[in-house]
């Protein structure tokens, strides 16, 4: 069964669609069966109003730059066709959905979720996986080793591409967590061990200097995250006799 997912991000003129703030950019990245396809969607949008000063500092999209771009009504059908029946992945989904619903309502369309299969919020997922940690997109990129060095201003397509990589890293292994309860070979080996059968000589491979250096670098990053000494650098407590 083909699994089609769309990672979506928007940029807006401000924080509140109820007070008239509008979408000015939409970026979407397609994932099919956990692979990036390159079939992405991107559009700048003329919001027919100025951006608030704080929002402009974040996205850098001026009123002049957006003045000749299509209005949302002109791209709405293309966007609906692109996302139709897919799972939509958004970081902090209520924010983007509020803006999309406001734009759809202006055109007399049903809410955004009515056009798609489901919406997955990666912020909710991240909080479950990393409770008590910072789970912004930047923090997650840092945590999963995804380079966002080229990101000076926010951009919807760039953020969607970064989020796609974060999502794939964060959910890696979910599809392969299987337990083979009836593996006959494993069962036979267990019987041998229980019966006291001789165990083959264990080969011990020493880590190379490069591997040890990578391990130390990983522990350094873990120390930084916990703001102290991570578990793997603490001495085991030996119980008193």
Q: Which residues are catalytic?
A: 154
The tokens describing 112, both together, are: 């955004």
Using only C-alpha atoms, what is the Rg of the chain? 24
Dist CA 67 CA 186 (whole Å): 67
- Cβ neighbours for 100, distance < 8 A, ≥ 6 positions apart: 10, 23, 112
Using an 8 Å Cβ cutoff, are 31 and 5 in contact? yes
The Cα–Cα gap between 90 and 96 comes to 8
How many angstroms separate the CA atoms of 151 and 167, rounded? Answer: 18
């Amino acid at each position: 069964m083909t699994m089609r997912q769309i990672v979506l991000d928007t940029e807006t003129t401000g924080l509140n669609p109820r007070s008239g703030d509008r979408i000015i950019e939409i970026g979407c990245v397609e994932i099919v069966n956990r692979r990036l396809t390159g079939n992405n969607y991107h559009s700048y949008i003329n919001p027919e109003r100025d951006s608030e000063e704080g929002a402009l500092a974040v996205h850098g999209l001026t009123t002049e730059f957006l003045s000749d771009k299509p209005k949302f009504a002109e791209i709405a059908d293309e966007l609906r066709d692109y996302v139709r029946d897919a799972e939509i992945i958004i970081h902090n989904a209520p924010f983007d959905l509020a803006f999309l619903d406001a734009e759809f309502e202006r055109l007399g369309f049903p809410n955004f979720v009515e056009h798609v299969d489901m919406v997955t919020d990666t912020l909710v997922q991240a909080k479950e996986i990393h409770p008590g940690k910072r789970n912004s997109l930047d923090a997650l990129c840092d945590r999963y080793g995804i380079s966002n060095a080229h990101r000076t201003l926010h951009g919807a397509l760039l953020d969607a591409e970064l989020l796609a990589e974060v999502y794939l890293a964060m959910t890696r292994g979910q599809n392969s967590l299987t337990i083979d309860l009836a593996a006959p070979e494993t069962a036979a080996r267990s019987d041998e061990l229980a019966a006291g059968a001789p165990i083959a000589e264990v080969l011990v491979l020493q880590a190379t200097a490069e591997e040890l250096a990578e391990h130390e670098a990983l522990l350094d990053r873990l120390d930084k995250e916990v703001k102290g000494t991570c578990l793997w650098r603490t001495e085991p407590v030996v119980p008193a006799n």
